[in-house]
Amino acid sequence: MFLQLRGLTKTFAMQGATRVSALEDLHLAIERSEFVSIVGASGCGKTTILNVIAGLPPYFPPDRGEVWLEGSAITGPGAERGMVFQEYALFPWRTVEQNIEYGLRLKGVPPGERREICRYYIGLMGLTGFEHVHPHQLSGGMKQRAAIARALAVRPKVLLMDEPFAAVDAQTRMTLQEHLGQVWEEERNTVIFVTHHVAEAIFLSDRVIAMTRRPGRIRADVPVRLKRPRVWSEINTNSEFLELQETILRLIGETR
């Protein structure tokens, strides 16, 4: 198996002596080139899962359990597990191009090759013409495009996406979802996508993992077999999509 979460358990200290359990004995296996979404109400530990996989403190190490990637347990953060954050997390002091180049530079990729890779991902993410602009001059949607390009440029084995479209308006969000779908079909990265937006999860994924409320456990693992490429104008009225949405919403307890 490509990526395995083996019995992850994690609690966090709240005020005083109370501890909140974020994850409890969580097992999950993900195959290479799979696009998997994790959905659940806030506080279900979905962000904790991503941060544990990324190896970021204070989430990593977990209290118990391990993350295995291609046959070895992870021991901390690393470039083979790229991450896209809800807050974009672009370096404000670098231009779009310099942001995208950053990971390649750390890897020691020579300048010529770096520029080529950079140009490819700038084109892929629709950022042509914005190479030399600083992040504060970009809209939220464009910032997230740049952040995705930056994460893809180092060719991570796994791309972790933490509610990447939560901060953009509805229209931009749909455009970005469709664009990410196309990009994924070209790049075929293994993606773990965290969201509380069920429709978004189904639209993008091969599999949707529905989580229970605290402590986070897997409630259901739902395969999505809608054919690709997917566009909202068709998916919106697709009965299979609507049924899936209904089922998952009920599973995570968000239907009213």
What is the CB-side half-sphere exposure of residue 237 using CA atoms within 13 A? 2
CB 95 → other proteins: shortest distance, Å?
Answer: 10
> Is there binding between residue 87 and other proteins (CB under 8 A)?
yes
Among 82, 164, 215, 216, binds other proteins (CB under 8 A): 82
> Is there binding between residue 134 and other proteins (CB under 8 A)?
yes
The C-alpha atoms of residue 100 and residue 155 are separated, in whole angstroms, by: 12
> Is there binding between residue 62 and other proteins (CB under 8 A)?
no
Is the peptide bond preceding residue 61 cis, with omega within 30 degrees of 0?
Answer: yes
Binding segment toward other proteins, per CB under 8 A, in 21-29, 77-85, 193-201, 229-237: 77-85
Residues binding other proteins: what is the number (CB under 8 A)? 33
CB 138 → other proteins: shortest distance, Å?
Answer: 9
Q: ∠ CA(7), CA(11), CA(17), 5° rounding?
A: 150
In the beta sheet, which residues pair with residue 194? 38, 162
Nearer to other proteins, 147 or 180 (CB): 147
Spatial CA neighbour of 220 closest among 236, 209, 207: 209
In this structure, what are the phi and psi dihedrals at residue 130, rounded to the nearest 5 degrees?
-110, 15
Residue 5: strand, helix, or coil: strand
Structure tokens belonging to residue 193: 């996508």
Among 33, 75, 128, 137, binds other proteins (CB under 8 A): 137
> Is there binding between residue 77 and other proteins (CB under 8 A)?
yes
The C-alpha atoms of residue 184 and residue 158 are separated, in whole angstroms, by: 12
CB 136 → other proteins: shortest distance, Å?
Answer: 3
Is the peptide bond preceding residue 57 cis, with omega within 30 degrees of 0?
Answer: no
> Is there binding between residue 154 and other proteins (CB under 8 A)?
yes
* Contact track, other proteins, 156-195, x by CB under 8 A: ----x------x----------------------------
Q: Max CA-CA distance within the chain?
A: 55
> Is there binding between residue 151 and other proteins (CB under 8 A)?
yes
CB 175 → other proteins: shortest distance, Å?
Answer: 17
Burial classification of residue 113, based on how many CB atoms lie within 10 Å of its CB (0-12 exposed, 13-18 middle, 19 or more buried): exposed
Among 91, 123, 128, 255, binds other proteins (CB under 8 A): 91
Binding segment toward other proteins, per CB under 8 A, in 31-39, 78-86, 204-212, 245-253: 78-86
Could you tell me how far CA 131 lies from the centroid of its own chain? 24
> Is there binding between residue 135 and other proteins (CB under 8 A)?
yes
User: CB atoms < 10 A from the CB of 254, how many?
Assistant: 14
The residues of the shown chain that bind other proteins, judged by CB under 8 A, are 54-56, 77-79, 81-83, 85, 87, 89-93, 102-103, 106-107, 134-137, 139-140, 143, 147, 150-151, 154, 160, 167
